[in-house]
Amino acid sequence: MRRILEIHPRGAPAYPVLCGPDLVEGLREVWAPSWKKAALIGDDNTLGMFGEHVAAALRERGVEVLKLSFAPGEASKTRGTKQALEDAMLRAGLDRHAVVVGLGGGIVLDVAGFVAATFMRGIDHVFVATTLLAQVDASVGGKTGVNTVDGKNLIGAFHHPRAVLLDTAALAQLPPDELRNGLAEAIKHAVIEDAALFASFEAWAANGGAASLRPPIDVIATCVGIKAQVVADDPREHGRRKILNFGHTVGHAIEHATSHAMPHGKAVAVGMVIEARLALARGRLSEEALVRLVALLTRLGLPTRPPCPFVTAAPYFSRDKKNRDGAIHCALPSRIGEIAPVDGAYTTPVTVDELREAWGN
């Protein structure tokens, strides 16, 4: 595996991000000798597909491995799942020297990271990201958490992993729609921070990318680099880190309104279009930028229209974590490659009427 990045979170140890197809070699490189017991946490799919491969590699190093999994999907991203995992770890005698290995997509990493954040008041964890979405986004930044009936990711903690492995071999088994989910977050990184990356996505999509849906390792590395940089500047999301939420105020409401029938990446794709329309309506973003965004998403087979009427999603806007003083906040782009602050703020209050107008149905 190639060491593509070293992340230096404020107040936590630096950790490497490795990317490539040889997971066993990657684990060997990052494994600390003190990690003698591991809770290997995946969902039923990822543990079934890759669990034994990872467990065997760890056992070969003399590590005792407890394999734990839960049903795939957002419905499992709950406090109940976290509790069941913790109880199993306690029953197996894991202590504060144990390590959690999260093996899977963003859901597994969010849950496994949250388990590690509170087990024995916090133990080490390593992420093995197996979806494109987790590789370009969810695996770095230290945000962990679960959903509740009131909204997405409302309960959680900041807890940084000790190492992140981006398993590119796993992407060969990822269904096209899951690749699309990851592409949505990758395009978000381009819109908020890197106009050249956006142009390279356009060229890639026009030259075979729309068929393969698997971006080159360098593109994955650029996306993780953007996320890492934004997070390093503002680890607790007091200011600029909010730009990573472009598309997410609307996206989270869509996920909830559809009971996650529209998954995270696709909901973010629609969210980016609606929030870009809000930016256009405010004279902040050009029509050309909106057209380019819609064209790129469409070319890659991502949705650009909301899957439900505005009235269905409206109640969920009031529960967004970014709300302040009762107002809904969105991170609105000022051009492709930038979310410029307005009066020092990276999110903008928007009204329900503006949202309804941008929703378009």
Ligand X SMILES: NC(=O)c1ccc[n+]([C@@H]2O[C@H](COP(=O)([O-])OP(=O)(O)OC[C@H]3O[C@@H](n4cnc5c(N)ncnc54)[C@H](O)[C@@H]3O)[C@@H](O)[C@H]2O)c1
Report whether 183 contacts 211 (CB < 8 A). no
End-to-end Cα distance, the chain: 47
Which of 87, 86, 153 lies closest to 122 in space, CA to CA? 86
Q: Which of 244/285 has CB closer to ligand X? A: 244
For CA atoms 134, 121, 101, 163, give the dihedral sign.
positive
The least distance separating ligand X from the CB of residue 105, rounded to whole angstroms, comes to 2
Report whether 96 contacts 120 (CB < 8 A). yes
The least distance separating ligand X from the CB of residue 154, rounded to whole angstroms, comes to 11
- Binding residues (CB under 6 A) for ligand X: these are 43, 45-46, 72, 74, 77, 104-108, 110, 130-131, 133-134, 137-138, 141, 143, 152-153, 170, 173-174, 178, 181, 185, 264-265
Number of residue whose CB is nearest ligand X: 106
The least distance separating ligand X from the CB of residue 194, rounded to whole angstroms, comes to 18
Q: Which of 172/211 has CB closer to ligand X? A: 172
Q: Which of 110/194 has CB closer to ligand X? A: 110
Q: Which of 47/94 has CB closer to ligand X? A: 47
Query: Tokens representing 288?
Result: 């050309």
Residue 83 CB neighbour total at 10 angstroms: 11
The residues that are catalytic are: 121, 143, 185, 227, 237, 241, 245, 248, 252, 264
The least distance separating ligand X from the CB of residue 189, rounded to whole angstroms, comes to 11
Q: From residue 191, how far is each of 122, 227, 297, 339, 360 by CA, in Å?
A: 35, 12, 12, 8, 22
Q: Which of 66/138 has CB closer to ligand X? A: 138
Which of 143, 112, 300 lies closest to 219 in space, CA to CA? 300
The least distance separating ligand X from the CB of residue 181, rounded to whole angstroms, comes to 5
CA 55, distance to chain mean position in Å, is 25
